[in-house]
Homo-oligomer: A and B are copies of this chain.
Amino acid sequence: MRALYCEEGDLSLRLDYPQPQPRPGEALLRLRMAGICGTDLALTRGYKDGVSLVLGHEYVADVISAPGHESWVGQRVVGEINTACGHCARCSRGLVTHCAERRVLGILDWDGALADTFLSPVANLYPVPANVSDEQAVFTEPLAAAYAVLRDMPSDAGERMVLFGDGRLGQLIARVLAAEGFDPLLVGRHAAKLAVAAAAGIRTQLVSSAAEIRSHAEYDVAIDATGSAQAINDILACLRPRGVLILKTTSAQTTRLDLAAVVVNELRIIGSRCGPFPQALAALAAGKVDPRPLISARYPLAQAEQAMRVAAQAESLKVLVIP
């Protein structure tokens, strides 16, 4: 079968990759549609050393087989991406997305969805409601990550929110915040991307310098979805005392941080990663969030390498891959 393989950063579409065989508790899935994410691009740039696997963790697929769980066969599904052993200390205390033994679909020790077929633990699957199209459902994973911002926000955080980063994830977070009754300001460096957000009724501002970022002051909450490790000091400067920074950027680079400012202003920095699939699916089914304006391009799996190149371009938002 075909699979987009990343071998320590080198990308190639393999045509004779072996079809995986599900073990008990696993489902064999046939891809319907996959999305390309910033993490996929980061993996090809060496975000994690020594990663060799099939990429892809945003998908909608059909269940082909599921030994011992035959009721799933034929269902159209999306799936969470972290495997959980169910018995380690972290799983026992409910931190299943942080399982000590975890593998991560298309990211860590588990072949991903950019292939004709792939595996998932059955426990990770969610049926897709009939009124949610493939082009909506394929956004479930990043939309759940966007909903994680609300889950991870302290209850006393306040309502004045500024969001940095007009890319894929920033666009979804802005829509989630708007859908849930907030009125965020989306700050970015790309006029065309900001226009996509503005068309959804989101307040936007184009900036071109760190000084312009720092001119936003006294926000209750700032959200970093820039994808850059370097913007954080400027973003922290936008917060009121006791303000909250929700950090979504994963970068291979370290950041030089002024911790005294964090202490003196009693700021809170909260790392936020994967989010709640049920909430994301419910938002799609109810039409609360429409991610489809984010689709920049569609490519067949045969052109998956080209899809990755296009996704890496600054003007791209979501690039989809369809078998």
Contact = CB atoms under 8 A, between A and B. Distances in A.
Given A263-B271, A271-B263, A254 B252 contact: no
B240 A259 contact: no
Query: How often does this chain occur in the complex, in copies?
Result: 2
Given A252-B260, A255-B257, A259-B232, A90 B241 contact: yes
Interface residues of A, number: 39
Interface of A: 47, 89-90, 95, 97-98, 152, 154, 218, 229, 232, 240-242, 247-252, 254-260, 262-273
Contacts of A240: 90, 95, 98
Interface centre among A218, A248, A259, A267 (most CB of B within 10 A): A259
21 contacts: A98-B265, A247-B263, A248-B263, A249-B259, A249-B263, A250-B260, A250-B263, A251-B259, A252-B260, A254-B257, A254-B259, A255-B257, A255-B259, A256-B256, A259-B271, A263-B272, A264-B271, A266-B271, A266-B273, A267-B270, A268-B269
Contacts of A258: 254
A9 B316 CA distance: 52
